[in-house]
Amino acid sequence: MRTPRPEAGPGIWRFGRRPKPPEEPDRVEDRQLVGGALLTLAGAFIVWSLYRNGVIPFRHWPLELVTPDSWWDGKGRDRAGAVFADLYDLAVLAFIGWIAGRAGQWPEAVRRYVLDAGERRRAAGTISGAFVVWMLVVPSGFIPVVPVFFDLAPDAWLRDPSSEAAVFLFTYGVYTLLTGAIVWGAARLGRWREVFRPQHKDAEEDEAEEPELVAADWAELRAVGLGDVADALEREAASGAMNDVDQARITRAWETVQAQPTRLKPFTDAVRHDGAGAFPHPSGLRDIGARAALHDLVTGQVRIGAAPDDGRNEYAYRGEGIALEPSLVSTGLLVVGPAASGKTGRVVAPCAESLCLLALAGRAAVVSVGSAGSALGADDAYDVVIRIGDPDSRHDLDLYGGTQDPDQAAALLADALLGADPGVRTAELRQASLALAQLLGPYRSAHGRFPGVPELRALLDAEPVAVGSLREACEAAGDGAALRELEGRERQSRRAGDIGPLLADRIAVLDRPAFAGFFEPGWQGRQFSMRALEHPMRVRIDLPERGHAEAARLLTRLLLAQFVSVAPARRDRSLFVGLVLDDAAHTVTAETVRGVQRLRSANAGVVLALRSLDEVAEALRGPLLSAVGCRMALSGVSTWDGRHFADAWGAEWVQTRDVTHTPDVSGGTLRRSLRGVRQLVTGSKVMSQSVTVRQVERERWSASELANTVPAGHAVVSFTSVEGARGAPVLVDLHG
């Protein structure tokens, strides 16, 4: 709770993140930097050695030119001459060091490999450097600092034998002073105190180092005079009685108080009475048990991997953790990867788990849809588990999405039945929606509910018994409008090319013995509909197993159509709602693509997982990639899929170098003769190089790179936040 979470770009894991220094576009390579520093250091050492040993003539000539001749009387230097000669030597050494440091980029090398290499490496480097400097200054005298002090000493100390004690004290005092200065400078530069200080710090140091505002301080409560409530929550956190779900749930409750101040007293009473257990989820749970991913509920993020330090990644993402959060899922997340590429275990399941935790905190509602046995979480992680086709399932699915409007129910059902068929035109969809509405309206008017699957199939097939029974019920109810609708449907059914039989054939996949007892509108209280997502619910829907693939696809299309229709129509949009489809094959329709785009402003989002884009109608692949804001291509995608992602991510301007090799024909007779001898020996012509540097537009990730260069267990992902912030495609290690 006290860990800093600095702001970062979309998709970057913020928990405990340390902001990176600004990018250095002209950064020198390590090999070049180290080689240059060592070479100039060796050169400076040689030049200084030649200077110290008198190999360089007239070395003191500039000093003698500007100083009195009495300092240089031919019998040796006097005291002033000796002092200034030593200072002059130090100035020459500083000049040599300055030239060599500029040429060899010593400051950059020290900063990169010592100062910015971590606390321990910085301390070790400065200790080693201090020892080397001390050896050069004190014992060896290679750097003439000690002679300056001795030149300043009184002559009586150096000539009078009785002053040995004073000379001894003076000598070792100088050594101690220089040693202390070197150690002090190295300690300041290397920040030794941060490394070697005791682990137990006093309270004042703790307060000085903590962030000003953190989640554990409950500063907003203190600001309105609820210091006792904040203290109680801090004690709960310190004792371990509060977990991250409790903290997020109470923070959510406080946000509702800020929106409705009348809830202030119930809030304070609940916290004082229940502490960390205040405002419990309707299930009474405060966690989901074992977690398969790393979560941060303060930011709502779940970590899915790490971006390697790869040149194809933007500098801002290199070495950073990669995470998903509701503000990214709101734009839509499309995950494409073959089987066993980590699609479910590394991306879809962590996202579903994160939404389940946020639901316990009162911040989200989630519907996870997958086949039976998919790794979308244990049963105890959900409030409602619907197992389609399992007689022991305690809950059922509302085929009509909980709506009471026959026209809306007909439109959603028609889109699920025919919308994914590439051969179906918009006019046929409208005709199907009208045909369903002409049956659903009268049936609801006569029976007060919508028909079950067998009844609807019989009505679409225009079976005389079913139609006659419905007509009699409408006549008994005295609903003339319903009778007119039913008569219109009867006239249409007698025409050639009526859409009714096609709809009956499509819905027949649900009228099977395996689904007997399901989709019955009479199961009031046990049927789940998307309209229940007004509350922080956790729902998992297990689709039929093998043998009912078409039924599973139909139900998935129906759930997606219902979700994109219901989510934007919610009254309270402060609750994030998410739909997670572990297998969205043959699920996307033109209407749902348009609906996904509307979810951004409704605080809702969908996660669509596909094995290949071939599982989407060809006409919808481009619109789908355009509609979603977050796109992920896992290792193993085909070049055909890679081409769609490459087009969606676009191109960027890069600098390229073209090298041209041509035979070298320059020079005179001697040079050409030498080249001829070289060619005779090596068997190859001497070539000259011509380098051309230019700016070109290149794809961020080409189809070939996505298909052939993405390592196993990796993915390329791009993020877009609800606010419109976009991130470039990033190579992510899903095991990082």
Residue 353 pLDDT class (50, 70, 90 cuts) = very high
Q: Which residues have a Cβ under 8 Å from the Cβ of 130 and sit 6 or more positions away?
A: 182, 183, 185, 186
Higher pLDDT, 399 or 182: 399
Average pLDDT, the chain: 85
Residue 329 pLDDT class (50, 70, 90 cuts) = very high
Most confident of 164-173, 391-400, 610-619: 610-619
Q: Is the pLDDT of residue 31 over 60?
A: yes
% of the chain residues with pLDDT over 70: 91
Higher pLDDT, 43 or 82: 43
Would you state the pLDDT for residue 653?
81
Do 638 and 612 contact (CB within 8 A), yes or no?
yes
Among residues 320, 295, 293, 325, which one has the least CA distance to residue 308? 320
Residue 49 pLDDT class (50, 70, 90 cuts) = confident
Among residues 389, 321, 358, 391, which one has the least CA distance to residue 17? 321
Would you state the pLDDT for residue 81?
67
Cβ count within 10 A of residue 451: 24
Cβ count within 10 A of residue 675: 17
Measured CA distances, 444 to 402, 436, 486, 559 (Å): 13, 12, 12, 22
pLDDT digits (tens, 9 = 90+) for 101-144: 888 887 888 887 777 777 777 888 888 888 888 888 777 777 77
Mean pLDDT on 528-551: 89
Higher pLDDT, 329 or 374: 329
Residue 208 pLDDT class (50, 70, 90 cuts) = very low
Would you state the pLDDT for residue 78?
60
Tokens of 720: 């877009």
Cβ count within 10 A of residue 462: 18
Do 653 and 697 contact (CB within 8 A), yes or no?
yes
Tokens of 312: 């194809």
Residue 717 pLDDT class (50, 70, 90 cuts) = very high
Cα 582 to Cα 364: distance, rounded to the nearest angstrom: 19
User: What is the dotted CATH code of the domain comprising 326-397+524-630?
Assistant: 3.40.50.300
Cα 674 to Cα 671: distance, rounded to the nearest angstrom: 5
% of the chain residues with pLDDT over 90: 37
pLDDT digits (tens, 9 = 90+) for 422-481: 878 888 889 999 999 999 999 998 888 899 899 999 999 989 999 899 989 888 888 888
Q: Which of 241-250, 593-602, 653-662, 706-715 is the least confident region?
A: 653-662
Q: Domain residues of the chain, as ranges?
A: 33-196, 215-277, 326-397+524-630, 406-515, 657-696
Do 109 and 27 contact (CB within 8 A), yes or no?
no
Q: Is the pLDDT of residue 166 over 90?
A: no
Q: Is the pLDDT of residue 157 over 70?
A: no
pLDDT digits (tens, 9 = 90+) for 235-289: 888 888 899 999 999 999 998 888 888 888 888 889 888 888 889 999 989 998 8
Would you state the pLDDT for residue 563?
95
Residue 205 pLDDT class (50, 70, 90 cuts) = very low
Tokens of 328: 């990214």
Would you state the pLDDT for residue 726?
87
